Every structure is written in C-alpha cells, then in structure tokens.
C-alpha cells in the first residue's frame, strides 16, 4: 500500500438533499437509470408529471427497473414480469395474479423538484427530511437571464470540493487572485436555520467598465450539497451561481451549476462572471484529482474558516469523522 492510500481518510456519504437530475432531462413517461449515493436507482416521471425515485431492483427477481422498465400512468412497470410500482415503492399490480404479496415493495426516496433540478433526500439511517431545499428566486425572475447549466464530475469526495469556499488563501495560489489577505480580513461567517445554513461573506473593491464598486461576495450553503454564490453591491445589478453537488459514491462527485445575471448587466460582466466561475473550478481539478483527505490536518491561524467549516459539517454525518 502506497503512502497516499495509508494517509487517506475515507469519508462517509453525508445526509441531505442532492440533485439526481436536471428537470429538463426527464419528460413525462421517461425512465432513467441513476447511480448516486453508491446505489443503483430508477428515476421516472409519471404521466401527470411528478418525478419519482425508487431503488432499482424489483422485489420479485431483481430485474433493474430502469433497464427496459416502462411508465404506466403513475406507476413504473418492471421489464421482466410486469410488476407495477407506484411512487411510494409499493407494488400495486401484478398482471397475472390477484393477490399481491405484502413484501412486494421497493424503497422509495423523498423527492422534491425546484430550481430546475430533481432533488433526493439521502440519510444513512433512513430518517425523513428535516429541512427544505431553498427556492432561489433569481432563477425564475424575468429580470434575470436564462440560467446557464454547467456539469462537472470530479473524482473526489464532495466535502473536499465544499471546503474551497472556506479556504481564501488557495484563491491566490490556484487561481492567481491578488490581495487575498485583504479580502479575508473583511470576511465573516454566519449561521441560520437551526445550524443547517452557513454563510461566508467577503467584501472587496471591484473595477468594471461602468465604474468601481465596493462589492460583497456571499457564499451560502444548505447542508453539504447545496450552494449559492452571489455578487452584490453593484446598484441595480447582480450575479448568481447556484449548485447542487451530489455524491456518486464515497470518492466521486457530480456537481450541477446554474449561472445567471441581471439582464442589464449580462453584457457588462455576466459573461465574465460565468467564465470566471467555470474556468476557475477547472483550475481546482488537478488538486482534487490528486489530493487525499486528512481527517487531522495541520492547520495554521489563516485556516480558521476551514476549521470552523469542518465543525459545522459534522452534523450532516450519521457517524461523524474522527478529526483532531
């Protein structure tokens, strides 16, 4: 075993809401095979338009419901023997039998659809949701541009990605941002929604074609899976990124982003904002692909936000990692 493997700490899959698909990619009557949270799942949209998510394997003989399965009304029919499951996971029809066995059911996942994504609730102990996916009003505001999607798949645990927001020093060395120390000195962290919500704000001076502005960058997190980044402080204008970062398994992550700006600012800074966000995250890719997760890192005084963030993340694990 190499040094990297010996020193790596495996993190569990955290609890919370995570996107499993773009809404636009699932039309009524469609079934999709999904692999998230280290599990095979069957995602389908009923004829009435509701998104449903079930464990993939039929309770009968284990056929994969998304491989040849078919939507019939509000149910998903198994391709092997035609057993039909509703959105609760109960088998409601066996075409060649009148009596349905009591154990003829599969696990159904809690699903909500908003912000142009389909979200599923994951909890290692099977507990029901205890907080909601926030509604991001800018995404449907006619004064804002059509949100632009961006997909990213990264071979790293999602917490390693999330920690970047609380690591101001890395912006200088990875992204070439100058004066990061000044930006950090004007930052602050706040909490809300019974601790599920976390915000880090930083203020700086930005120069644009229309003038120089004292701006504020707000990075909001709801659990480990949902994040928004807003640039504020420009009169009558705004820039936004909203993302859902989903654990594919313990060491792979699928991140879905939506980026938008107010229409009056789209040609001034909107495209630059989108390009800066998407190219910036690609600069992080080499780090993520080759790093390990240290449960007990050696931290310095400049890492106070990172240390605080790690304490906050512990609430989202059924068995929190042992950290020193």
pLDDT for the residue 186: 54
Q: Kindly state the percentage of the chain with pLDDT values over 70.
A: 91
Q: pLDDT tens across 60-91, in order?
A: 999 999 999 999 999 999 999 999 999 999 99
Q: pLDDT tens across 192-241, in order?
A: 767 789 898 887 776 666 667 787 889 999 999 999 999 888 888 899 99
Q: Can you tell me whether residue 167 is helix, strand or coil?
A: coil
Q: Quick one: pLDDT band at residue 153, thresholds 50, 70, 90?
A: very high
pLDDT for the residue 183: 39
Q: What is the CATH number of domain 137-316?
A: 3.90.380.10
pLDDT for the residue 208: 67
Tell me where in the chain the CATH 2.102.10.10 domain(s) lie: 16-122
Burial (0-12, 13-18, 19+ Cβ within 10 Å), 81: middle
Q: pLDDT tens across 277-287, in order?
A: 888 888 999 99
pLDDT for the residue 146: 96
Q: Kindly state the percentage of the chain with pLDDT values over 90.
A: 68
CA–CA distance, 309 with 314 (Å, rounded to integer): 9
pLDDT for the residue 187: 62
Q: pLDDT tens across 98-107, in order?
A: 999 999 999 9
CA–CA distance, 85 with 321 (Å, rounded to integer): 37
CA–CA distance, 102 with 57 (Å, rounded to integer): 17
User: Which of the pair, 321 or 35, is modelled with greater confidence?
Assistant: 35
CA–CA distance, 165 with 278 (Å, rounded to integer): 15
pLDDT for the residue 214: 80
Tell me where in the chain the CATH 3.90.380.10 domain(s) lie: 137-316
Q: What is the CATH number of domain 16-122?
A: 2.102.10.10
Q: Quick one: pLDDT band at residue 2, thresholds 50, 70, 90?
A: low
Q: pLDDT tens across 15-29, in order?
A: 999 999 999 999 999
Would the pLDDT of 303 be above 50?
yes
Strands (E), 98-162: 111-114, 117-122, 148-154
Mean pLDDT on 113-117: 98
pLDDT for the residue 35: 98
Q: Quick one: pLDDT band at residue 179, thresholds 50, 70, 90?
A: very low
Q: What predicted TM-score, i.e. pTM, was given to this entire model?
A: 0.91
């Amino acid at each position: 075993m190499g040094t990297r493997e010996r020193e790596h700490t495996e993190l569990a899959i955290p609890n919370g809401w995570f996107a499993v698909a773009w809404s636009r990619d699932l039309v009524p009557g469609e079934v999709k095979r999904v692999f998230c949270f280290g599990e095979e799942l069957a995602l389908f949209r009923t004829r009435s338009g509701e998104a449903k998510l079930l464990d993939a394997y039929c309770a009968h003989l284990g056929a994969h419901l998304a491989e040849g399965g078919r939507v019939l009304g509000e149910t998903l029919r198994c391709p092997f023997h035609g057993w039909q499951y509703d959105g609760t996971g109960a088998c409601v029809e066996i075409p060649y039998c009148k009596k349905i066995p009591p154990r003829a059911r599969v696990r159904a996942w809690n699903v909500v659809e908003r912000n142009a994504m389909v979200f599923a609730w994951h909890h290692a102990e099977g507990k029901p949701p205890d907080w909601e996916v926030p509604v991001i009003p800018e995404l449907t505001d006619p004064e804002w541009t059509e949100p632009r999607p961006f997909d990213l798949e990264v071979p790293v645990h999602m917490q390693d990605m999330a920690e970047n927001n609380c690591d101001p020093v890395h912006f200088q060395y990875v992204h070439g941002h100058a004066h990061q120390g000044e930006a950090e000195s004007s930052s602050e962290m706040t909490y809300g929604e019974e601790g599920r919500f976390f915000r880090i704000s930083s203020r700086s001076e930005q120069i644009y074609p229309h003038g120089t502005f004292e701006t504020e960058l707000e990075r909001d997190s709801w659990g480990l899976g949902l994040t928004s980044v807003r640039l504020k402080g420009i009169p009558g204008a705004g820039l936004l990124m909203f993302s859902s970062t989903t654990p594919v398994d313990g060491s792979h992550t699928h991140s879905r982003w939506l980026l938008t700006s107010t229409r009056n600012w789209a040609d001034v800074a909107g495209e630059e904002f989108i390009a800066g966000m998407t190219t910036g995250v690609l600069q992080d890719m080499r780090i993520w692909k080759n790093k390990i997760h240290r449960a007990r890192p050696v931290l310095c005084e400049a890492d106070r936000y990172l240390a605080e963030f790690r304490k906050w993340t512990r609430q989202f694990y059924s068995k929190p990692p042992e950290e020193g």
